[in-house]
Structure 1
Amino acid sequence: MKQPLECPHPPEVLRQARSRIWPTLGRAYLRLAGWRIEGAFPEVPKCVAVVAPHTSNWDFTLGVAFMFAAGLRVSWLGKHALFKAPFRRMLRSLGGIPVDRRASHGVVGACVKAFEAAPALLLALAPEGTRKGVSQWKTGFYQIASEAGVPILPVGFDYRDHVIRLMPLFRPSGDREQDIPRIQALFEQVHGLRERPTEGPKG
């Protein structure tokens, strides 16, 4: 018989007000699929969570299960085309924020304003920006964190070892060219469902 899943608790201000059934289902999914969680949530009310690598649609399912299991309130950005009936209400209830990529120049500013307006906010972003093979990370997550004055929480989905890794907070220095390679280096031993190389930053 498998042992109960040990799941860290997020700060009170980032906990989701849901019924007990959702954490139970989230933990059951992770346990039955053989996943475990390493690390702890930092005691901060606001941060940008960088989730990598992003190589499969299963990453979303895994992320939702983790969110439910931890009782965590998360916001994330998604293609505006996905937020249509009958899925619009469900995606928004899961923390989804529709983004029109054709107007990406305004996304960073909108996210910064959201951080300024909210007493607590965890914004989860995939720096690769796509499931397709990429050699460079997009750097919007870094710009958002820098301008909002919030730390970055690296989160790795390691499919080889079936581990969700919560890493120590990274605080941007303002030097993007120096910081992003340091953040990427944290994911060198994190294996996505589909392997691919990761190289330097992309604007």
Structure 2
Amino acid sequence: MKTVATFILNSILGWKVENSFPKEPKKYIVIAAPHTSWIDFPISILVRISQGTMVHFIGKGSLFKWPFGYFFRSLGGTPVDRTKSNKIVDAIIDLFNTKEEFRLALSPEGTRKKVAHWKTGFYYIAKGAKVPIVMATLDFENKKMKISEPYYVTGDLEKDFEYFKLFYKNVKGRNPDLS
């Protein structure tokens, strides 16, 4: 499966991957940005398969209904109900604390639409679960996904977000006007 995914990603689609998802630590959050198109998902899945590293994801509950629910779950997905005011951050921290190995990909924008500010849930999950953040780009202009080394948040939200934003500087999503 790795070979097929790598062939599709590199030879057919022309994407390159700079760095690999870290094998250590065994638990971390991946923030992938910019998230501007549904095409981000299959590219990310191909990267994940080609690297041989399971990275889970969450998605809106409607994606996990029949007929696609089984498919998304088999890819490592978990549905979330975004209509209810639930404590999703606390639930994900608990999930990290119960697993020996767990990597979770999130979009810091929280949507494919243009946003003025990133959501902060991923930050508080990393802080609460005491896991690092690994940044991954979805740079369609250069057809490249770049993966960072693990970064442990400092507790200074403003300083940490400046660090994150530097990593994504000049990265163009599939729909650059939404980046």
* TM bracket (short chain): over 0.9
1:4 matched residue in structure 2: none
Q: Using the alignment, how far apart are the partners of 1:105 and 1:179 within structure 2? A: 26
Whether contact under 8 Å (1:26, 1:68) holds in the other structure is: yes
Please point out which of 14, 21, 24 is paired with 2:3. Answer: 24
- Higher mean displacement: 116-125 or 166-175: 166-175
Please point out which of 41, 48, 55 is paired with 2:21. Answer: 41
Letter of the 2:8 partner, please give it. Answer: Y
Q: Using the alignment, how far apart are the partners of 2:33 and 2:57 within structure 1? A: 14
* Alignment partner of 1:138 is 2:119: yes
Whether contact under 8 Å (2:112, 2:178) holds in the other structure is: no
Q: Using the alignment, how far apart are the partners of 1:97 and 1:89 within structure 2? A: 10
Whether contact under 8 Å (1:55, 1:132) holds in the other structure is: yes
Letter of the 1:190 partner, please give it. Answer: V
Per the alignment, do residues 143 and 196 of structure 1 end up closer, same or farther by CA in structure 2, a change over 3 Å counting?
farther
Uncovered stretches (5+) of structure 2, i.e. residues with no partner = none
SS at match of 1:61: helix
> Normalising by the residue count of structure 2, what TM-score does the alignment of the two structures yield?
0.94
Per the alignment, do residues 197 and 65 of structure 1 end up closer, same or farther by CA in structure 2, a change over 3 Å counting?
closer
Q: Using the alignment, how far apart are the partners of 2:146 and 2:135 within structure 1? A: 8
SS at match of 2:137: strand
* Alignment partner of 1:61 is 2:42: yes
SS at match of 1:37: strand
> Normalising by the residue count of structure 1, what TM-score does the alignment of the two structures yield?
0.83
Q: Could you give the per-residue CA deviations for residues 18-60 of structure 1, whole angstroms, max 9, x where no partner exists?
A: xxxx212211211111111101333210000000000001001
Please point out which of 64, 69, 77 is paired with 1:83. Answer: 64
Structure 1 consecutive aligned stretches of length 4 or more whose deviation exceeds 6 Å: none
* Number of equivalent positions: 177
Uncovered stretches (5+) of structure 1, i.e. residues with no partner = 1-21, 199-203
1:122 matched residue in structure 2: 103
Please point out which of 167, 171, 179 is paired with 1:190. Answer: 171
Q: Using the alignment, how far apart are the partners of 1:159 and 1:197 within structure 2? A: 13
Q: Using the alignment, how far apart are the partners of 2:96 and 2:119 within structure 1? A: 20
Per the alignment, do residues 116 and 126 of structure 1 end up closer, same or farther by CA in structure 2, a change over 3 Å counting?
same
Q: Using the alignment, how far apart are the partners of 1:155 and 1:104 within structure 2? A: 28
